[in-house]
Structure 1
Amino acid sequence: MTQTGPSDRALEIGARVEAFVREVVAPYERDPRRTPHGPSDALAAELKDRARAAGVLTPHILADGSHLTQRETAWVLRKSGLSPLGPLAVNTAAPDEGNMYLIGKVGSPAIKARFLAPLVEGRARSAFFMTEPASEGGAGSDPSMMKTICRRDGEHWVINGRKAFITGADGAGVGIIMAKAQEGACLFLVDLPDPAIRIERVLDTIDSSMPGGHAIVAIDDLRVPADQMLGESGEGLRYAQIRLSPARLSHCMRWTGAATRAHEIAVDYACRRHAFGKPLIDHEGVGFMLAENLIDLKQAELMIDWCAGVLDTGSLGTAESSMAKVAVSEALMRVADRCVQVMGGTGVSGDTIVEQVFREIRAFRIYDGPTEVHKWSLAKKIKRDHREGEA
């Protein structure tokens, strides 16, 4: 019989993750160690220690090193996202989750032992150095514009360039750096911090859920041993695609969990708060917004499950993940916005996580490819498919 819902193991893992996030992690949402640039590393370490003790650390990677299917991962990561701190606590957060996936797929046994193990065990954070300053014409949504260069020097590669919006660079222990060689883009694994990698500043951004924030970074004559190249020289863009589609979908998974929790808070508020002689939810203007939330949340869940199923076939799922990213991020933005509106002044205050979820999802519409870039990519595919159909 065809599996039509989450597998038994996904249900079991998801139930434990959900209980942990709701009962243990949620009370930390008022912890003063949450800074404008993300939770402090001390807070992150404490949360991971508690997850480790509860047996829910890195729940999407099993004890034998195997990975849950993407459909199973979707179920578990949605549960981890029920608090903005949940993915950090159970080690399913970006960029670590995507970096673990990439290293697991492409890394040599030596690279996995040195760089993957500390990430899976929650002993280190990581950063993915790809995006570059727009003011310098560097790579953003178009990685082919890469300005950071690398050249072979004996048994090392030397890297020079500047990177921008590098999530978690401040405080990371592992870095994956993309740079351009004559034969094409390359990826390198490096230990952090390194004196040749200098954080110029951490940007003030609308979101605040990721430790270390988003940094502008200068790389000056960084020497990397040749055996720390990830995969083959010139194949960096192809490897990045291995990471980007699942990581794009993982964002959808986590923020669907967060939007679900925001909706729960808004429903509770609307059922308890009275105005004009009755509970807010009995006013159609409010009740209909919450009904629309249910529709958008279910559509997001189904879109994620569909795309995850495509990835589970072994396909890169480039077009499918673009469709999912657009549909889910836009749907969740509507959900978060309605939650704020239903709760009025309380919705824009820090008394609940609703205002943070709104901010985080607004940023998510840009991160991992803005909506417009994905639509442009899909339009190119439509044109290409039409041309091939006429041939």
Structure 2
Amino acid sequence: MDFRHSDRALEWQDRLRRFMDERVLPRSAEYWAQVREDHTRQPPVMEEMKGEARAAGLWNMFLPGEHGAGLTNLEYAPLAEIMGRALWSAEVFNCNAPDTGNMEVLHLYGDELQKRRWLEPLMAGEIRSAFLMTEPEVASSDATNIRTRIERDGDHYVVNGRKWWSTNMGHPNVAVSIVMGKTDPDASVHTQQSMIVVPVDTPGFRVERMLSVFGYDERPVGHAEVVLENVRVPAENLIAGEGRGFEIAQGRLGPGRIHHCMRTIGAAERALELMVERLLSRTAFRKTIAEHSVWEQRVGEARTNIEMCRLLVLKAAWMMDEVGAKNAKSEIAQIKVAAPRMALQVIDDAIQAFGGAGVSADTPLAEMYAMVRTLRIADGPDEVHNRTIARLEYAKQGGRR
């Protein structure tokens, strides 16, 4: 296995790092001030930064081929880490979830009409999108439980159901959603589901309420509970045909987990940086806090654990490039468990180093903790990923997967 960065990858990292340091991180205070002033609108500074990033060629970096930067998973992973230093910054480069996953779905599975209608404006950063999969009335860690119905009616499909944790539904630019539901409840368990594109202004599509995360409303992005009541959309909006929902979901989630985990490592790096600055700048009991042995242990463990997680994610990215997501199933599951757990510990230690300031809005740590904590649930909870890992281990010894 060779994780050395190519010259091309190093060039991309240098360009992105300089842009983050010069054009994004210094405007963080301005961004949050505009969000707090009116979180129902797109912060003007975000649109300014998006224009600058696109002009700099730092745009759609996650997509392969002519539609994006043409980077491999291994080449893109460090870029996601750099963006993770400010978890809100991925939108600056049009590399934000769930738009990235939705663009990948339309790129891989959409027909030409779907690409023209929705992929192109998403790639241009003109609109944002939502992904509606999780439901409040069932254990959505098992997606076969999904109850939302997608029923054929002539030249249309009619969608009925209730979804929640629909990220982006609070964004003023959200225009379209991809909905997962059952087209044939009597089919085999993994061919009952399909995915369909539903514009959010379709009659019967309504936001029931916005949801908070540890009290944060996470605007202007936001997460919503959405009701779909007799929502009629043209049959041509169905993606790739009936019964392919699970197949599409797996194609969508593999790269997305690499992105999430590397952004999470970027957040851990930022938390460690803030923690060390704080420890070196404060004195308690006649010496700097950094000189107290307990903090030496915490900083040492943080660095070690960040490095271990980064190598594991790079291995998973390399395997996806070399042998495909199916053959990297265990590694992808491992990083999804390991990275958020590691980052939460580092962030928690950083909060402790800051004392009362750490749980306030004076630092990014409290909201960073809230955002990263959701990743132990989003895209499959830890328990599901550990189940996958364990069954693959059983199979090595002749057990049933």
Kept in 2: contact 1:126–1:175 (CA 8 A):
yes
Match of 2:287 in 1: 278
Q: Is the 8 A contact 1:300 1:327 kept in 2?
A: yes
Q: CA separation of 1:321/1:3 partners in 2, compared to 1, >3 Å: closer, same or farther?
A: closer
Q: 2:325: which partner in 1?
A: 315
Measure the CA separation in 2 of the matches of 1:3 and 1:39: 46
1:227 corresponds to which residue? 236
C-alpha distance in 1, partners of 2:220/2:47? 11
Candidates 292, 295, 304, aligned match of 2:304? 295
Assess, with a 3 A threshold, how the Cα gap between structure 1 residues 176 and 218 changes in structure 2: closer, same or farther.
same
1:258-277 equivalences in 2 (<5 Å)? 258-277=267-286
Sort the Cα spacing of 1:179 and 1:4 in 2 relative to 1 into closer, same or farther, 3 A: closer
Q: Residues 362, 315 of structure 1: CA spacing in aligned structure 2 closer, same or farther, 3 A cutoff?
A: closer
Q: Return closer, same or farther for 1:315/1:55 CA change in 2, 3 Å cut-off.
A: closer
Q: Which moved more, 1:231-240 or 1:15-24?
A: 15-24
Residue of structure 2 in register with 1:94 after alignment: 97
The list of structure 1 runs, each at least 4 consecutive aligned residues, that deviate by more than 4 angstroms after superposition, is 35-40, 207-210
**Residues 1:385 and 1:193: Cα distance change in structure 2 (over 3 Å):** farther
What's the CA shift string for 1:18-70, capped at 9, x where partnerless? 22222222233323233599795235434323322433232333682154211
What per-residue deviation string (whole Å, max 9, x for no partner) do you get for residues 271-306 of structure 1?
122222222212111122111111111111111101
Name the CA distance, whole Å, in 2 between partners of 1:8 and 1:21. 20
How far the C-alpha of 1:105 sits from its partner, in A, is 1.5
Give 3-state SS (helix, strand or coil) of 1:34's partner. helix
1:37, 1:210 within 8 Å by CA — same for their partners in 2? no
CA contact (8 A) 1:36 1:208 kept: no
The residue correspondences of 1:166-181 to structure 2 (distance < 5 A) are 166-171=166-171, 172-181=174-183
**Structure-2 change in CA distance of 1:39 and 1:69 (3 Å):** farther
Preserved contact between residue 37 and residue 208 of structure 1 (Cα < 8 Å): no
Deviation track 1:299-320 (CA, whole Å, cap 9, x = no partner) reads 1111110111121122333332
Equivalence for 1:49: 51
Q: Structure 2: state its 5+ residue gaps.
A: none
- Is the Cα contact below 8 Å between 1:168 and 1:214 reproduced in 2? yes
- Out of 250-259 and 2-11, give the one that drifted further: 2-11
- Give the counterpart letter for 1:18 in structure 2: R
Q: Which moved more, 1:380-389 or 1:268-277?
A: 380-389
CA displacement at 1:261 relative to structure 2: 1.1
367, 370, 374: which one aligns with 2:378: 367
Equivalenced residue count is: 386
Match of 1:29 in 2: 28
Mean alpha-carbon deviation: is it higher for 46-55 or for 327-336? Answer: 46-55
So what's the TM-score if we normalise by structure 2?
0.89
CA distance in 2, matches of 1:63, 1:311: 16
Query: Contact (CA 8 Å) 1:81, 1:256: kept in 2 or not?
Result: yes
- Aligned equivalents of 2:73, 2:12: Cα separation in 1: 14
Q: Which runs of 5+ in 1 are unaligned?
A: none
TM-score calculated relative to the size of structure 1: 0.91
% identical equivalent positions: 34
Q: 2:203 aligns with which of 186, 195, 200?
A: 195
Matches within 5 A, 1:128-139: 128-133=131-136, 136-137=137-138
Paired residue secondary structure (2:268): helix
